[in-house]
Amino acid sequence: MSKTLVIIGHGMVGNRLVEEIRERDSAENWRIVVLGEEPYAAYDRVGLSSYMTGSTAEELSLLSSGTLEDRRVELRTGVGATDIDRATRTVSTTAGETLRYDALVLATGSRPFVPPVPGSDLEGCHVYRTLADLDGIRSAAVPGSDGVVVGGGLLGLEAADALRALGMRAHVVEVAPRLMPVQVDEGGGAVLARLVGDLGLEVHTGVATSGAHAGVDGELGSVTLTDGTEIATKLLVFSAGIRPRDELAEPAGLPRGGRGGFLVDGNCRTEDPRVWAIGECAAVRGQCHGLVAPGYRMAAAVADQLTERGHAEFQGADGATKLKLVGVDVASFGDAHGTSEGALEVVYANNAEGTYAKLVLDDDASTLLGGVLVGDASAYDTLRPLTGTALPAPPEQLLLPAARSGGPSTGVLPGEATVCSCHNVRKTDIAAVIASGAAEDVTGLKSCTKAGTGCGSCVPMLKSLLDEAGVATSDALCEHFAQSRSELFEIVRATGITTFSRLVAEYGTGRGCDICKPAVASILASSVNSHILDEEQAGLQDTNDRFLANMQRNGTYSVVPRVPGGEITPDKLITLGQVATEFGLYTKITGGQRIDMFGARVEHLPEIWRRLVEAGFESGHAYGKALRTVKSCVGTDWCRYGVQDSVTMAIRLEMRYRGLRAPHKIKAGVSGCARECAEARSKDFGVIATERGWNLYVGGNGGFEPRHAELLASDLTDEELIRLIDRFLMFYIRTAERLQRTAGWIESFDNGLEHVREVVVEDSLGIVAELEAAMARHTASYTDEWRAVLDDSEKLSRFVSFVNAPDSPDPTISFTEERGQIRPEPIDLPTPVAQPGQDRVTEEVSA
């Protein structure tokens, strides 16, 4: 006969316990009854802020279909516990029921801490904790007005960014002298303040909130700070920390920890052997933990005990944190503040890029104790597992951004290094699974070890460990599609599928993610040639493609009309000047022979496009993974050295391939002679004139890892040149992987360029006719994306700053003037300085 387990609380940790029990209890010894106060089942509270920007409660849900279908599990949402009678082993509920238990687990979580601020009970004051809280904040938000967030920690900054997304001018009030004082040091806090300031948040540090005051209507009207600042506002959000939900302790006669929480031992068990507590409500040996990772480890430990897999103890919490906060990378691990005796600090600060990195070392600079990363946290995945071990490389190499220095490989990690802190998975655990053959890809490692299924920050490390073990990793596009991008392209082409929803339903799983949605959108645009904002296509696009313009650092957009070959008439130049003047835009001539206009508000984009379209311009696709430009010199018309008409050829090529969607952006160039003034050999495809025709070069690019293009064919006629480019581009589009430039794509073949030459020049696969036909279909079906929006009222309705206030402009956008043009409002960055008594080696790169 099965026993009854009652779990009070169905948050992230309570839900994890259910999953852990289900996995271990194959004999079905336990019947599980879960009480959840909220009307929703468990949802991703870490990703709560995405609810403000379009995610639904269903998308945030953590409840698996397997749980709903499991006859062992009974989930009661909207029902809480009112009392625990340990003598009779019963729980009384808000629904008036009495539930008997054989084992009881308290997973009641925490509540937001509201400081004792006079007026905190006024209408207009909110907390930031649940979906219902966010619904209330959304209803109270008034675009264009000021909103105040009390608390500059993790949740405080998330709350402030949510207000910004709702069109408000967000003020962050933090009593500590810097933002995120628990996670980052003074130098990191200074950089973080600058980065969030760039996003339009106003930061007040070193001050507290002294009072909230009613307005004439009796609701919140203003907030005062201890430095005398007064902010007129109707919305105040408290996000200043949490307190454990332990109100059931006293009536049940359960002891609390010194700072609250149900007091439990290392097994997460209270003084009652039938009652456990896990998550934020548990004071393990007197200490509460406010992160989800230790909560998950507590759930696993209790599940082991309940299913008699040994008396697994909770081994303590890894306080490491990595997140993208309001679009800014922040990470800390180990002794981030250098409190260990004799600790040394090594700091790298790049004021030009807005990045800050610090390593804390022991007194002989040989052992890594901790670190802080702000602005670029790419090195976190390697550095965190090295905590407490000998340095595998000089500290300055470890500090540099991983993509530049190469960084240490996973091979330097000791076997006992923790790769996944959410589930306490060590490198040796993963290596053993790989060696046994039980997992051959990241998905398999997740299934076998649970690594990567928590916060997900260790997934890159899993890939590296597979690579270093000699296991060929899957080329699956993402966890929702087992196929690669090129395989999905062939599926779409063969089946005629025209929507993401049908593709994922028939060939994938789940609802998709920010990796597969834009990738499939690109495939559909290349195959179907429909407008990228048609029907459900619009929801797949990233920000730039959604608004057909490049989003800039201050929330405005740039507009780049097509100027084929760089050739432009005086009348069109005048139009560009008039439009830029009328809409107050910053203008710049780009390296691709275009005129870029910056600072356009989203609601102004359609009218700007209308003016440009009427003057004969069209979209230059500067926002898309598509053909960007075909640069040219002046050729034979004007240059005494020119041997071919490079301008005419550049215009012909750009007009042929305009709007061509690809795995990555495509740039091209045409030079009229070997002097190479168009820099054609640094382009994805480049054309250089000869006395006998054209030489075609492919696979070049600038960017992070510059490549020179290599010669594909020589002395081509105009028609031969275009046929080869048709074939090359369509072969690339069909077979390259997501975000793979032509240079990397060519290098991915066993014989590199020789293989490409065999396919597109020699037709070794017998597909060149098909490639040419596909390009012909593209050129015949091209339409200007800007004009298509102007002709469609439904598409036009998307171009507003705020859906809930379509007539309100974004109030956070501000400019200053420099050299006669607008610039985003600058924010000064204080230079971090060493504190007295600290040893610090600092490398600064300043603009």
DSSP3 helix / strand / coil % (the chain, rounded to 5): 35, 25, 45
Amino acid at site 657: Y
What gap in Å lies between CA 456 and CA 44, rounded to an integer?
Answer: 13
Question: Across the strands, what pairs with 357?
Answer: 348, 373
Binding residue per annotation — 639? yes
Binding residue per annotation — 677? yes
First to last CA, the chain: 72
Q: How many CA atoms lie within 13 A of 304 on its CB side?
A: 14
Binding residue per annotation — 422? no
CA distances from 77 to 38, 91, 93, 102, 472 (A): 6, 16, 12, 21, 44
Binding residue per annotation — 281? no
What gap in Å lies between CA 770 and CA 67, rounded to an integer?
Answer: 48
Cβ atoms of 343 and 175 within 8 Å: the answer is no
Read off the tokens for 790.
């102007």
**CA-based diameter of the chain, in Å?**
101
569 by DSSP, 3-state: which? coil
What gap in Å lies between CA 421 and CA 334, rounded to an integer?
Answer: 12
CA distances from 203 to 140, 417, 827 (A): 22, 38, 11
Exposure of 646 by Cβ count < 10 A (0-12 exposed, 13-18 middle, 19+ buried)?
Answer: buried
Exposure of 49 by Cβ count < 10 A (0-12 exposed, 13-18 middle, 19+ buried)?
Answer: buried
Q: Are strands 344-350 and 355-361 parallel, antiparallel or unpaired?
A: antiparallel
Read off the tokens for 688.
């250089």
DSSP assignment letter at 59: H
What gap in Å lies between CA 298 and CA 264, rounded to an integer?
Answer: 11
Annotate 457-484 with b (16+ C-beta within 10 A) or e (fewer).
bbbbbbbbbbeeeebeebebbbbbbbbb
Residue 126, phi then psi, degrees to nearest 5: -135, 165
Cβ atoms of 814 and 825 within 8 Å: the answer is yes
DSSP assignment letter at 835: P
What gap in Å lies between CA 154 and CA 766, rounded to an integer?
Answer: 57
145 by DSSP, 3-state: which? coil
* Residue showing tokens 């054209």: 694
Other Cβ atoms less than 10 A from the Cβ of 573: the count is 12
Q: How many helices (H) and strands (E) does the chain have?
A: 28, 40
358 by DSSP, 3-state: which? strand
What gap in Å lies between CA 681 and CA 683, rounded to an integer?
Answer: 5
What gap in Å lies between CA 381 and CA 619, rounded to an integer?
Answer: 40
CA distances from 72 to 1, 14, 136 (A): 12, 15, 36
Q: How many CA atoms lie within 13 A of 392 on its CB side?
A: 15
Exposure of 792 by Cβ count < 10 A (0-12 exposed, 13-18 middle, 19+ buried)?
Answer: middle
CA triple 616-618-624, angle to 5 deg: 170
Spacing of C-alpha 137 from chain mean position? 23
Read off the tokens for 459.
């997934």
Cβ atoms of 171 and 200 within 8 Å: the answer is no
Comparing C-alpha atoms, which of 126, 117, 118, 113 is closest to residue 153? Answer: 113
Binding residues for siroheme: 677
- The annotated binding site is made up of 633, 639, 673, 677
Return binding residues for [4Fe-4S] cluster.
Answer: 633, 639, 673, 677
